[in-house]
A and B are shown apart, each in its own frame.
Chain A
Amino acid sequence: MIALLTRDMRLAVRAGGGFGLGLAFFLIVVVLVPFGVGPQGALLSKIAPGILWLGALLACLLSLDRIFALDWEDGSLDLLATAPLPMEGIVSVKALAHWLTTSLPLVLAAPVLGVLLNLPAPGFGWLLVSLALGTPALSVIGTFGAALTVGLKRGGLLLSLLVLPLYVPTLIFGAEVARRGAEGYDVTTPLALLAGITCGTIALLPFASAAVLKINLR
């Protein structure tokens, strides 16, 4: 399992710039927002938590099809499926690798981009916490979507259509934590619910992803 994890991470970092792409996308989204809504600081600081959450979510979405597509093309997914590792384990490791290589850099970059959007000072900590707690759910849900669409030739758009509705609860609670944090309110309830969603998806969704992947490899 650890070998698979290190292999996936090495591939992600070395092969073809997929690693920095999500970060660059995140940066561009955040830069484009003031062009769209105007440069007023008060407005920006009000919508900053939501924009940062949305940007991180979209950047995460953008890299989902890479989770299985390359392994599917060169046949290593078939090899993995016949390996002694259970499919649920493979799927979980893939999700973990995606989180470490794509989501974690987004989490770490978010406060820096928060400066650009005039995020209020108390918001930085909660933004970091909410993203760190919420992005694992995004990666796990995204792995499910990637497993669903792995065999399709033009699965990218379909993948977004399938995954984005599944992101709704995570986004609601995550952005709520960041927003309340930025405005100085109590964040306990949404934080607990966000943690609940993350734990629930990590515990249960790999089974669905594994089942779906088995069907696709049939």
Chain B
Amino acid sequence: MNLNALWEYANPKKFIATTDRVLPFVAWMAALLLVTGLVWGFFFTPDDYKQGATVKIIYLHVPAALMAINAWLMMLVTSLVWIVRRHHVSALAARAAAPVGMVMTLIALATGALWGQPMWGTWWAWDPRLTSFLVLFLFYLGYIALWEAIENDDTAADLTSILCLVGSVFALLSRYAVNFWNQGLHQGASLSLDKEENVADVFWYPLLVAMAGFALLFVALVLVRTRTEIRARRMRALEARERMQA
């Protein structure tokens, strides 16, 4: 595919038409993968020899945490596209992704607490990973609040995208700052592609399916929300035109 063709979807009409066709497929695939991954993970994998059945929280915890970070990355990219090329769909997609990402962060934090209680004996510890997720949650809150606070759409898009850029730098800084500030309880990465010591394959395959399911779920939700935003904006434009003519 020609890469330039990608910019065609910046046209809201084209975006709506294409997503009309794509969305049902994405949504059904997300549902299928999620059900497969979770059922497989919950009922057809052995218990961990140390953690028992609690290990199964991994099928919610890891994919949610993954998408919490990727949602912010997506917002960063779409914000950049908005600043550079001024495509409204891009700005609206960033706006649509933020609450989804925030909920993913919340899911990761909540499932982490549920998992931490039996394993570490505490719901919460000021561990670097936990803390930086909490900080990420605060960044989401600020970003969404700024969108809500500004009335002019273009101004809001401009300001939030700059906040997203600056916030990304500071989120990254905070990530390493908290690393410095406290030692962790949370294990390091055990899902890397290039490491010897990873989770065993029995857990890995259903987890992979669940992660793909979460990713598609995220895509589907963002598409739906972006379409809603586009339509809401179109409706406002129509209403304004009617008032002008009346």
B204 to chain A, nearest CB (A): 34
Report B133-166 residues with CB < 8 Å from chain A CB: 135, 138-139, 141-142, 145-146, 149-150, 155, 158-159, 162-163, 165-166
Contact with A along B166-182 (1 / 0, CB 8 A): 11001101100110110
A-B residue pairs in contact (CB < 8 Å), sample of 16: A148-B159, A148-B163, A158-B145, A162-B142, A162-B146, A165-B135, A165-B170, A165-B174, A166-B170, A168-B135, A168-B170, A172-B180, A176-B181, A211-B162, A215-B159, A215-B162
B-chain residues with CB within 8 Å of residue A166 when the two chains form the complex: 166-167, 170
A27 to chain B, nearest CB (A): 28
Contact with B along A141-179 (1 / 0, CB 8 A): 000100011011001001001101110110011001000
Docked pose: A216 CA to B155 CA in angstroms: 7
Residues on A close to B: CB < 8 A? 144, 148-149, 151-152, 155, 158, 161-162, 164-166, 168-169, 172-173, 176, 189-190, 193, 197, 205, 208, 211-212, 215-216, 218
Docked pose: A216 CA to B163 CA in angstroms: 13
Docked pose: A25 CA to B180 CA in angstroms: 30
Contact A193 B135 (CB under 8 A): no
Contact B145 A172 (CB under 8 A): no
Residues on B close to A: CB < 8 A? 135, 138-139, 141-142, 145-146, 149-150, 155, 158-159, 162-163, 165-167, 170-171, 173-174, 177-178, 180-181
Partner of B177, one of A151, A158, A168, A215: A168
Partner of B142, one of A144, A151, A165: A165
B219 to chain A, nearest CB (A): 27
B-chain residues with CB within 8 Å of residue A212 when the two chains form the complex: 159, 162
Contact B146 A148 (CB under 8 A): yes
Contact A193 B180 (CB under 8 A): yes
B-chain residues with CB within 8 Å of residue A169 when the two chains form the complex: 170, 173-174, 177
Contacts known (A148-B159, A205-B166); A161 close to B141, Cβ less than 8 A: yes
B-chain residues with CB within 8 Å of residue A216 when the two chains form the complex: 155, 159
B-chain residues with CB within 8 Å of residue A190 when the two chains form the complex: 180
